[in-house]
Chain A
């Protein structure tokens, strides 16, 4: 009897071990697939003799990173990316905060149609929009530039204003198009989070004599903070990594952001500075990886939010 149970447990545990081995084997294979492509960029960024090929550096240098500060281009691309994506993320948060709140609280007839419309807007493939969006941006651009010509006769001021407020090849255009592209998902996230905050809280605050602004600042925003975090992180990650919009709407070198600047530098096949580009790639990737590590836990919520399976 005791012998029999012993045999059973042994068989059970050796089967268990076999499954465990298979589990580790599968995970290690998938992990290798995922991590091997990173080796090159991580090594080359510190390799004085960086090339297109993976190799162990003979010595370690931080020179490529220092070079970024000496090399005007790299610094400008970083600055432009941070400025444009930073403001776009902020605008997304503000507009999605208001929009998500209104969508969550209103009982008006437009609530349901609008929610369905937002799902559909979310799945519009951006490449399908390039021609019409380009036309819209051109039209807005003409309006802005004729307004600028009316305001001032000073050429230098005109150039400066046009750089800031143009829709094609200007900061404003890039900021607004990125904001618009991130809004559908952000509104959806905010609406889901506001749905989870009972209306009673606001009413209680109002009964206690809190003004509307106080209710928003002291009750709503703190309770919706995880929502803002999720919406902001996803807006940042998506806009930061986007390649299509900069490709469409920037031409002057002063306006280039990281993705386009790096891509164009990479196309000059005869004169690629691999050390510079890999160091820049590390710096460009880092904020996205950090943001993603925070955003991870929200990832399922953004999709399953409105789904009753």
Chain B
């Protein structure tokens, strides 16, 4: 029986999709659902439960919600995301984007320097900043603050969370700058000229024209940066591994420590489920709010 041309073509499309779907299915989609069923067991990496894990219902979740370390991790994650993605990267990236819109010299040099941190692998980021934060009189940051009369600090011990926020802000300025520059470029120039003719001040122009016209881009930036910051692991792991005393234990690190340092896979999966649900919620909101066209 001969297949029609159209059916053959449809079959071809499915065959082309297959390898990608199998890989994403096996290593992302299936594990994501598997996390839900694992979170209902007492599975462990060592000991009796490692051989034969059993169904424990929602026990992991009731333990989770009464675990101060989990709430601490959630709080640390929230501060980390707001401090670095929502405030740090956004403010500095926006400032850089606005400045680079102007007719100035050395534009491409500024641009290249600001983009540099974004290209650096996570492990090297940790490496660079461990040297920056090195304690004692010769640490780079200690020498810089000494000019302002500040005593040498043990940055990663005294201000751990603030320190990793500074690092992640540093890394992400480029992304927000590039995205916001494209948003600025799409605002028609004649609106600005009209406003100037009408005698608007710079501040008025920024508040009444630039900011409102940038809202879709800002919203897109907030979504992407929140989701990617939420998923950070290596950057914090190489810098502090969640310490000292859980003060930088963002959710990703908490999951890793519970699963592979405390060997409690079932409990780790329960934390993973919380983190999956939160990011999926943000994703749904985004798809609905921005009316993503596919």
Distance to closest chain B CB from A174 (angstroms): 12
Q: Does A30 count as interface, using CB distance less than 8 angstroms? A: yes
Number of interface residues of B (CB under 8 A): 99
CB within 8 Å of A: which B245-294 residues: 251-253, 255-256, 259-260, 265, 268-269, 272-273, 275-276, 279-280, 282-284, 287, 290-294
CB within 8 Å of A: which B67-126 residues: 92, 95-96, 99-100, 102, 104, 110, 112-124, 126
Of A55, A125, A285, the contact of B276 (CB 8 Å cutoff): A125
Contact assessment for A128 and B255 in the assembled complex, using a CB-CB cutoff below 8 Å? yes
Complex Cα distance A132/B99, Å? 46
Complex Cα distance A106/B294, Å? 13
Contact assessment for A303 and B35 in the assembled complex, using a CB-CB cutoff below 8 Å? no
Are A130 and B256 CB-contacts (below 8 A) given A240-B121, A303-B224, A307-B220?
yes
Contact assessment for A289 and B120 in the assembled complex, using a CB-CB cutoff below 8 Å? yes
Q: Does A207 count as interface, using CB distance less than 8 angstroms? A: no
Of B92, B202, B255, B279, the contact of A130 (CB 8 Å cutoff): B255
Contact assessment for B138 and A53 in the assembled complex, using a CB-CB cutoff below 8 Å? yes
Contact assessment for A34 and B170 in the assembled complex, using a CB-CB cutoff below 8 Å? yes
- Kindly list chain A residues whose C-beta atoms are within 8 Å of the C-beta of B104: 20, 23-24, 27
Dominant secondary structure at the A interface: helix
Of A112, A120, A243, the contact of B237 (CB 8 Å cutoff): A243
User: Which residue of chain B is the closest to A137 with respect to CB atoms?
Assistant: B27
Q: Does B1 count as interface, using CB distance less than 8 angstroms? A: no
Contact assessment for B128 and A38 in the assembled complex, using a CB-CB cutoff below 8 Å? yes
Of B29, B110, B119, B272, the contact of A27 (CB 8 Å cutoff): B110
Contact assessment for A37 and B132 in the assembled complex, using a CB-CB cutoff below 8 Å? yes
Contact assessment for A244 and B17 in the assembled complex, using a CB-CB cutoff below 8 Å? no
Of A102, A180, A300, the contact of B27 (CB 8 Å cutoff): A180
Distance to closest chain A CB from B156 (angstroms): 13
Of B127, B233, B272, the contact of A41 (CB 8 Å cutoff): B127
Q: Does B14 count as interface, using CB distance less than 8 angstroms? A: yes
CB within 8 Å of B: which A279-309 residues: 281, 284-285, 288-289, 291-293, 296, 299-300, 303-304, 306-309
Contact assessment for B127 and A309 in the assembled complex, using a CB-CB cutoff below 8 Å? no
User: Which residue of chain A is the closest to B293 with respect to CB atoms?
Assistant: A308
Contact assessment for A136 and B252 in the assembled complex, using a CB-CB cutoff below 8 Å? no
- A65-73, A92-100, A155-163: which lies at the B interface? A92-100
Of A127, A281, A288, A306, the contact of B294 (CB 8 Å cutoff): A306
- Kindly list chain B residues whose C-beta atoms are within 8 Å of the C-beta of A112: 294
Contact assessment for A262 and B13 in the assembled complex, using a CB-CB cutoff below 8 Å? no
Complex Cα distance A134/B256, Å? 11
Q: Does B163 count as interface, using CB distance less than 8 angstroms? A: no
Distance to closest chain A CB from B187 (angstroms): 12
Are A106 and B10 CB-contacts (below 8 A) given A128-B35, A132-B35?
yes
Number of A-B contacts (CB under 8 A): 305
Are A116 and B16 CB-contacts (below 8 A) given A31-B113, A125-B252, A303-B220?
no
Complex Cα distance A109/B231, Å? 32
Complex Cα distance A130/B261, Å? 13
Q: Does B24 count as interface, using CB distance less than 8 angstroms? A: yes
Of A53, A98, A133, the contact of B31 (CB 8 Å cutoff): A133
- Could you write out 9 A-B pairs with CB less than 8 Å apart? A40-B132, A41-B131, A124-B276, A125-B251, A128-B276, A184-B24, A277-B127, A306-B292, A307-B290
A: which residues have CB within 8 A of B? Answer: 19-20, 23-24, 26-27, 30-31, 33-41, 52-55, 94-96, 98-99, 101-103, 105-106, 108, 111-112, 114-117, 119-121, 123-136, 176-177, 179-181, 183-184, 187, 237, 240-244, 247, 258-260, 262-263, 266, 277, 281, 284-285, 288-289, 291-293, 296, 299-300, 303-304, 306-309
B: which residues have CB within 8 A of A? Answer: 10, 12-14, 16-17, 19-21, 23-24, 26-32, 34-35, 38, 92, 95-96, 99-100, 102, 104, 110, 112-124, 126-132, 134, 138-140, 143-144, 170, 173, 175, 178-179, 182, 202, 216-217, 219-220, 224, 227, 230-231, 233-234, 237-238, 251-253, 255-256, 259-260, 265, 268-269, 272-273, 275-276, 279-280, 282-284, 287, 290-294
Q: Apart from A116-B294, A304-B220, list 15 A-B contacts with CB within 8 A.
A: A35-B116, A36-B132, A36-B144, A52-B130, A99-B19, A121-B29, A126-B231, A127-B231, A128-B32, A132-B32, A180-B24, A187-B20, A243-B234, A244-B234, A293-B119
Closest 4 CB pairs of A and B: A243-B234, A309-B216, A127-B252, A125-B231
